[in-house]
Amino acid sequence: MFVRTAYKCRAYPDQVQASVLNRTFGCVRVVWNRTLAWRHQRYHAEKAGTSFTQANAYLTAMKTGTGLAWLNEVSSVPLQQAIRHQQAAYTAFFAKRARHPRFKSRNGRQSAEYTRSGFRYRNGRLHLAKMDAPLAFTWSWPDVDPASIDPSTVTVSRDPCGRWYVSFAVDVPDPEQLLATGRVVGVDLGVKDFAVTSGGQRIANPRHLERRARNLARYQRRMARCQRGSANRAKAKAKVARAHRKVRAARTDFLHKTSTRLVRDHDVIVLEDLAVKNMVRNRKLAKAISDCGWGTFRVMIEYKAARYGRRVITADRWYPSSKTCSACGHLLATLSLDTRHWTCPSCGTRHDRDHNAAKNILAAGLAVAGGNPGHACGADVRHSGSSRVQSAVKQEPQGVSPGIPVLQGGE
């Protein structure tokens, strides 16, 4: 069995190659935007969808027209790939897996994808179409010989701060499965601490954006004072982009190290199904929640667990893990967000809010481990006469057991 992976490296094009790539980025952007606008116009005028064949024919019409004849000056492969990616984006949109495709801006990240007909890779040297010299790049994996890989696609990109990258998509054999550790863990994600495990481990929130907020604000003020279209504004804008890149790189590094450690040390990982998209609507917490990167963290854990033979269980998002006593199952009627410790009125156990939630999340995950690993028993089921998604834990028998919330005393 093989899995698709990618090796992303820093690229160093010379002046001529940078000119060719910048021209290619512009053509890809024009093809994407014009095809997207044509799809909109066609749908509103004819109420008809657009297939890949029709979109590809529209690309041919654009290239043969007099106004856009300069599209023929670059390789046709990235232009065709732009049409293919747009079709995939619409497929994901209609399947409700992604939002509607948007127009591309010249100010954001630029990229162009080449298939095998648009590049040649031999002995660790990459030759792209419309270029005479090989593209220089730095290989960052000492345990992998760059001459041994056989990439199926190559993607060249440029960040807003001016850094160039090249990504090689390669099919590699499945990695060896990790040895069983016999340990399971429940993870409660938060803002004060990034994560608290059921074993009591606290992973501090590094707050990458907050630590660089002052420098970032200073760069943004300098950019705001510059005249639009000037060279000084372009330089100031690059500094803002570099500051954001440093924040993004530090956050990604932290999430990778944390997720890898959890996957290596545990056979089963139970996470809470957080609705991050809804949580960032809170204006007071939106910036802090976005800086945590909970969604990216969950994606990393899921694909690493699938790769190395671990199991990830998702607890129901309506499960009241924080206000349920992990010792006796007593469920508090209310628990304010600023209450970090509380004492169970039923058994008298003193709880740390986050540690208690992590233990309850683990208990809920283990309770459904023999069923669907993605949901708790009966979770995400809409019952007749109610539009609210009912929690799985509220459908359990009313006996008291650790980790299962039960209303006590007629509450």
Catalytic residue numbers, as ranges: 188, 272, 354
Beta pairing, strands 110-115 & 2-11: unpaired
* Residue 137 contacts residue 10 (beta carbons within 8 Å): yes
217-234 as b/e: b if 16+ CB within 10 A: eebeebbeeeeeeeeebe
Question: Comparing C-alpha atoms, which of 261, 285, 242 is closest to residue 199?
Answer: 261
Q: Spell out the SS3 assignment of 67-82.
A: CCHHHHHCCHHHHHHH
CA atoms lying within 13 Å on the CB side of residue 339: 13
Please provide the DSSP assignment of 266-296 as one string.
Answer: -SEEEEE---HHHHTT-TTTHHHHHHHTHHH
Amino acid at 311: R
Contact partners, residue 400, CB within 8 Å, separation at least 6: 328, 329, 330, 406, 408
Question: Comparing C-alpha atoms, which of 99, 94, 104, 93 is closest to residue 36?
Answer: 104
Taking the C-alpha atoms of residue 265 and residue 183, their distance in angstroms, rounded to an integer, is 7
Contact partners, residue 67, CB within 8 Å, separation at least 6: none
Q: 3-state DSSP call for residue 13?
A: coil
Beta pairing, strands 268-272 & 184-189: parallel
Taking the C-alpha atoms of residue 411 and residue 335, their distance in angstroms, rounded to an integer, is 14
* Residue 196 contacts residue 355 (beta carbons within 8 Å): yes
The token pair at 61 is 């019409």
Kindly state the greatest CA–CA separation across the chain.
81
Taking the C-alpha atoms of residue 252 and residue 260, their distance in angstroms, rounded to an integer, is 12
Element spanning 173, H or E: strand 164-173
The token pair at 3 is 């899995």
The token pair at 215 is 């420098």
